[in-house]
Structure 1
């Protein structure tokens, strides 16, 4: 416990900002104001429209291809998280190598326990991301089954309701995928803590700004919000 005293109040403040930023920005992205929606919320309408259009599309090879690509993305990032977790845990377990890294990054290496704790925060974010990617992968699988149960006849009594069910499952899968991505962003930002609390404060601010900018002030968001005129119009 005496070794933990080497964590300064500034370290605590930086860690609090890290976790608080991660929670707040995630909540804001999924619960934005009606006048300024995030890209995540804007895309929900497109996903619902996708499923409505799918009802009369025959064959549905195009829809199956899109869903397959989405599942591949979750599998790729899930596998990447597993590899990253294994690599970080290997570094944590090798105290000699970790102490050498500490000496290279700082004037005084400090207790190895401190460095292990810092890397455990990285592992926590990566683990959260892995779990979200795995769940997103399963939800996309559920979505595929529901999509297959949607009748091609628009007049069928259950056609639109099942299509909307598929859309809602697809939306939940996408949200979990986005949560996993945010965890990876913050895991990378947390690595700056190895350089000290000031570096963590800066990296957390940069990560939060980057995520906010892409969700609320990016060019793709502007494109999604406007109807691009066609040549005929």
Structure 2
């Protein structure tokens, strides 16, 4: 099946806009010069404060409870992605009926079985990407728990501060990497919701993509959550 038999020019432009918007937003949030103003960066700073505080604690039940919460949340989203993938495969088996139903609706877009199946496979790909991100984040949070257990107790840290700092650095780095993959998976779910607009039409996909980017950008840089952290980004190396 040739691609031009499934996609016309408006659909191709909408798809390129969707992918380009996702990639561009990710680059701005994670790697651009304004990334340090975002919520993710500021929470990475707080992760370091958490690890430094943990080093001075005699009992670390609080830290293990925090890690358990992070793992449970990650596992929930990973399971949700599996259910979403299963639902998409179920819909693929009914692609012809879906195309018939949508054709009867007062929409300008035209649908056929090949187009519906292709769009559903794209949705499967998005949720599969999110699942792998959540799955890897879950595993990294598990590793972080082990590294936290390897951080020496306070009296041992006082005896060998250099080794203690190195143990904290390892746990902190693993925690930040896990958080990065978790955020990427969550971002995939949000853009998966934007992708649903394509089933209405290419113009709607462009609109839903722009809407999701605006919502995510506001939450990342201008929301109450950013202000509630209430810190100035440090001038040292970016976390």
Structure 2 length as normaliser, TM-score?
0.88
Q: Deviations over 1:30-74 (max 9, x none)?
A: 123258521111111110111111112121000000000000011
What is the number of equivalent residue pairs in this alignment? 227
**What is the CA-CA distance between 1:159 and the residue it aligns to?**
1.1
1:174 aligns with 2:179: yes
Q: Is the 8 A contact 1:3 1:114 kept in 2?
A: no
Note the residue ranges of structure 2 that are not aligned, 5 or more in a row.
233-239
Do the aligned residues in 2 keep the contact of 1:150 with 1:163 (CA within 8 Å)?
yes
Preserved CA contact (<8 Å) 1:92 1:98? no
Q: In structure 1, the residue corresponding to 2:168 is in which secondary structure?
A: helix
Equivalent of 1:189 in 194, 204, 209: 194
The equivalent residue for 1:230 is none
Aligned-residue offset at 1:126: 0.6
Instruction: Name the CA shift for 1:104/1:39 in 2 (closer, same or farther; >3 Å).
Output: farther
Paired with 2:130 and 2:34, the residues of 1 have a C-alpha distance of 28
Distance 1:108 1:145 in 2: 53
Q: Is the 8 A contact 2:14 2:203 kept in 1?
A: yes
- Which segments of 5 or more consecutive residues in structure 1 lack a partner in the other structure? 228-233
- Which residue number in structure 1 is paired with residue 79 of structure 2? 79
Whether the 8 Å contact between 2:130 and 2:186 is mirrored in structure 1 is yes
Distance 2:181 2:119 in 1: 25
Matches within 5 A, 1:119-130: 119-130=120-131
Indicate how the Cα distance of structure 1 residues 52 and 2 shifts in structure 2: closer, same or farther if over 3 A, else same.
closer
For structure 1, which segment, 89-98 or 192-201, has the greater mean C-alpha deviation from structure 2 after superposition? 89-98
Structure-1 residue corresponding to 2:218: 213
Hey, what does 2:150 align to over in structure 1? Answer: 149
The aligned counterpart of 1:117 is: 118
Q: Tell me, yes or no, if the aligned pair for 1:122 and 1:188 is still in contact at 8 Å.
A: no
Preserved contact between residue 91 and residue 97 of structure 1 (Cα < 8 Å): no
Provide the alpha-carbon RMSD of the alignment.
2.0
Task: Give 1:2 shift.
Answer: 6.5
Partner of 1:231: none
For residue 42 of structure 1, give the secondary structure of its aligned residue in structure 2: helix
User: Aligned partners of 1:34 and 1:102: how far apart in 2?
Assistant: 42
Secondary structure of 1:187's aligned partner: helix
